[in-house]
Amino acid sequence: MNCLTAHSPSDKGAVRNGRPLLRERGQHEVFCGLTGIIWLHRKIQDAFFLIVGSRTCAHLMQSAAGVMIFAEPRFGTAVIEERDLAGLADMHGELNRVVENLLDRRPDIRLLFLVGSCPSEVIKLDLERAAEHLSRAYAPDVRVLAYSGSGIETTFTQGEDACLASLVPVLPQEPDTADRSLLVVGTLPDVVEDQFLRLFTALGIEPVRFLPPRRSTDLPAVGPQTSFLLAQPFLDGTVRALEKRGAQRLAAPFPLGAEGTTAWLAAAAAAWGIDPERFQQATELGKKRAERALERYRDRLAGKRVFFFPDSQLEVPLARFLANELSVDLVEVGTPYFHQDYLAPEVDLLPPDVTLSEGQHVDKQLERCRAARPDLVVCGLGLANPLEAEGLTTKWSIELVFSPIQGYEQAGDLAELFAQPLDRRQRLGV
Ligand code: SF4
């Protein structure tokens, strides 16, 4: 789904972290926040995501998740028909019936998200109120929450942010006597979570919990004794909700590559006052494995010129990884939003001459990209095909969100994701 919107023109004078930042507002190409359901429904194993939307929303989800649909997917769409849009039907009554049928059929569901869409927002369907009412009706077996996955003015990763932010108010309060705890915030594949847990244990940091949890019955407690590390940079709403509960964010780069993972772990180690020698012992082997894995890709990627279009909000950490660990030459690093607070530690690590841009005026950015003729363009699905047709090599940024890329053990796989399209282009000899 491409949502195109017009705004004010470029602002070339903006500065972030002492660096020039090109801010653009114009037509932009994005996927909507419903897309987050694709990875969220695989993570929270007893949750169901009920999109309250149109047939377009259902089609988007089916094509985006096409390869991943199995016998009983944990998401579906309650389709708003035309007569509903015209206000001719009792939408709340219909929604109640859909939920009743669903919960009868699927007694394994413990957490139900009502996911708002453009159509549900247009008809001003109050899904929060509906969720409160349904939660009361199905308590204590099923909790019902609501959030918006609407495509207006969002990026596709904001769906995860809205989902996690909706969970924060129902997280248990940590007891007054609680010891300090660490919360890792942002969806990570289970295998990556397990690796991080082993590293934190080796560092002597515990208890460590994850948001979202694998099961809704394992919601982590939060409060003033909770420090949290972001595993993803696109969780602004969740951060604000956690801070409101008294939790404190630990500033750190994101755990991509050997450098990012070490710095991310070091932020927690510093907050826990871990001895540098212990830190070295706990991280040395993993770091070396990551560096060895990356060596294999350096020849293939060093000196390649990469252009990032704004899409996933992961662009700045990915660019830092490519530049510092694989000697990639960054042409432009575009990101939909430049969250100064979360990205400052990343920007500090970027090479000094990188062009950073925030927002999008797609035509102007395409012009810059065509003029630069980069070796690889990282962009959304909507731009990839036309750019490939023009002879440019592309990487879908959404793939980088679906794939396990965080941590030492995934550093080589992350490099592979960038090397693949370049190899393919070389094999095709075009
Ligand atoms: S939520 Fe909006 S942008 Fe997303 S698929 Fe539905 S109508 Fe399209």
Nearest protein CA to atom 7 of ligand 1, as residue: 118
Q: Which of 252, 215, 247 has its CA nearest to residue 231?
A: 252
- Which atom belonging to ligand 1 lies closest to the Cα atom of 53? 6
Helix (H, G, I), strand (E, B) or coil at 239: helix
378: tokens are: 């990282």
**In this predicted model, which residue has the larger pLDDT, 222 or 62?**
222
| Distance (Å, whole) CA 233 – CA 346 | 10
> What pLDDT score was predicted for residue 2?
39
pLDDT at residue 235 tops 90: yes
Domain boundary among 105, 136, 154: 154
Q: Residues 410-429: pLDDT tens digits? A: 999 999 999 999 988 777 76
| Distance (Å, whole) CA 412 – CA 146 | 38
Identify whether residues 293 and 424 lie together within a single domain.
yes
The reply to whether ligand 1 has any atom less than 6 angstroms from the CB of 61 is no
pLDDT at residue 11 tops 70: no
CB 310 within 8 A of CB 318: no
What average pLDDT does this structure show over 16-25? Answer: 79
Identify whether residues 87 and 189 lie together within a single domain.
no
pLDDT at residue 71 tops 50: yes
Listed in sequence order, the residues at least 6 apart from 379 whose beta carbon sits closer than 8 Å to its beta carbon are 308, 309, 311, 387, 394, 395, 396, 397
The reply to whether ligand 1 has any atom less than 6 angstroms from the CB of 400 is no
**In this structure, is residue 166 part of a structural domain?**
no
pLDDT at residue 5 tops 60: no
**In this structure, is residue 1 part of a structural domain?**
no
The reply to whether ligand 1 has any atom less than 6 angstroms from the CB of 64 is no
Q: Residues 93-134: pLDDT tens digits? A: 889 999 999 999 999 999 999 999 998 988 888 999 999 999
Identify whether residues 241 and 324 lie together within a single domain.
no
| Distance (Å, whole) CA 345 – CA 253 | 5
| Distance (Å, whole) CA 4 – CA 2 | 6
Query: Measured between alpha carbons, how far is residue 222 from residues 32, 144, 183, 255 in Å?
Result: 30, 20, 8, 23
Task: Name the least confident of 58-62, 64-68, 182-186.
Answer: 64-68
CB 50 within 8 A of CB 102: yes
- Which atom belonging to ligand 1 lies closest to the Cα atom of 59? 5
The reply to whether ligand 1 has any atom less than 6 angstroms from the CB of 118 is yes
Identify whether residues 233 and 147 lie together within a single domain.
no
Question: 65 pLDDT band (50/70/90 cuts)?
Answer: confident
Query: Measured between alpha carbons, how far is residue 282 from residues 28, 278, 333, 402, 408 in Å?
Result: 44, 6, 33, 28, 12
Question: 91 pLDDT band (50/70/90 cuts)?
Answer: confident
Identify whether residues 52 and 20 lie together within a single domain.
no
Identify whether residues 246 and 349 lie together within a single domain.
no
**In this structure, is residue 238 part of a structural domain?**
yes
- Pairing mode of beta strands 376-379, 356-360: unpaired
**In this structure, is residue 296 part of a structural domain?**
yes
pLDDT at residue 18 tops 80: no
What is the percent of the chain with per-residue pLDDT over 70, rounded to a whole number?
Answer: 91
Identify whether residues 58 and 119 lie together within a single domain.
yes
Identify whether residues 44 and 20 lie together within a single domain.
no
**In this structure, is residue 413 part of a structural domain?**
yes
- Which atom belonging to ligand 1 lies closest to the Cα atom of 151? 3
Identify whether residues 132 and 187 lie together within a single domain.
no
Q: What are the DSSP calls for 198-223, one per residue?
A: HHHHHHT---EEEES-SSGGGPPPBS
**In this structure, is residue 397 part of a structural domain?**
yes
> What pLDDT score was predicted for residue 70?
55
> What pLDDT score was predicted for residue 353?
87
Identify whether residues 125 and 223 lie together within a single domain.
no
What average pLDDT does this structure show over 333-343? Answer: 92
Identify whether residues 37 and 124 lie together within a single domain.
yes
The reply to whether ligand 1 has any atom less than 6 angstroms from the CB of 154 is no
Burial class (CB in 10 A: 0-12, 13-18, 19+), 257: buried
Phi, psi of 210 (to 5 degrees): -130, 140
| Distance (Å, whole) CA 407 – CA 232 | 12
Domain boundary among 257, 279, 301: 279
> What pLDDT score was predicted for residue 8?
41
Helix (H, G, I), strand (E, B) or coil at 183: strand
The reply to whether ligand 1 has any atom less than 6 angstroms from the CB of 58 is no
pLDDT at residue 28 tops 90: no
Identify whether residues 322 and 368 lie together within a single domain.
yes
Q: What is the mean pLDDT of the chain?
A: 91
Query: Measured between alpha carbons, how far is residue 411 from residues 18, 325, 403, 404 in Å?
Result: 29, 10, 12, 9
**In this structure, is residue 284 part of a structural domain?**
no
Question: 307 pLDDT band (50/70/90 cuts)?
Answer: very high
Long-range contact list for 93-98, CB < 8 A, 24+ apart?
A: 95/52, 95/125, 95/130, 96/130, 96/134, 98/50
Domain boundary among 119, 154, 189: 154
What average pLDDT does this structure show over 82-101? Answer: 79
**In this predicted model, which residue has the larger pLDDT, 73 or 197?**
197
CATH number at residue 214: 3.40.50.1980
Split into its structural domains, the chain has a count of: 3
> What pLDDT score was predicted for residue 92?
83
Q: What are the DSSP calls for 34-94, one per residue?
A: GGGHHHHHHHSTTEEEEEEE-HHHHHHHHHHHGGG--SS-SEEEEEPPHHHHTT-S-HHHH
- Which atom belonging to ligand 1 lies closest to the Cα atom of 32? 4
234: tokens are: 């696109």
- Give the domain range for residue 84: 33-154
pLDDT at residue 292 tops 70: yes
